[in-house]
Structure 1
């Protein structure tokens, strides 16, 4: 998560491409779910860096939804629906 946070911080003034955004959302959500299933404590998972990455991806998602007219089922919102469809 630290690597991803650093990468996003280095590109703070650049908007993510829609493809980058979709992949990053999937990576972050899958990583979070997998570690949670393995018993990692919420206090560890919900680190400052995770919150920073999550906030950035949520903002990028909102911008892309307006610009592109939707994200076709990929979202930072908490839902297992997309995992069952892919």
Structure 2
């Protein structure tokens, strides 16, 4: 029971820390609590600030949930356009 209370206290502290940074820094912040060093484990916790979401092109937590896959999905979308300035597939533009 004590271990659970300590863990809850740590999570509350992390949430307060992230909220403070998110409100005052003005940059896209995120926080990750890895589970046994595994970022993709179901028990890993990810928190994206609203500014980070905005920088990735999203407005709400529903569009960009607090899971690692959100950033992976956004990265795939970004890199799927390659280095093309227009965003068009280079094979089609030649």
Q: TM-score, normalised by structure 1?
A: 0.35
Higher strand proportion: 2
Higher helix proportion: 1
Specify the structure having the higher radius of gyration (Cα).
2
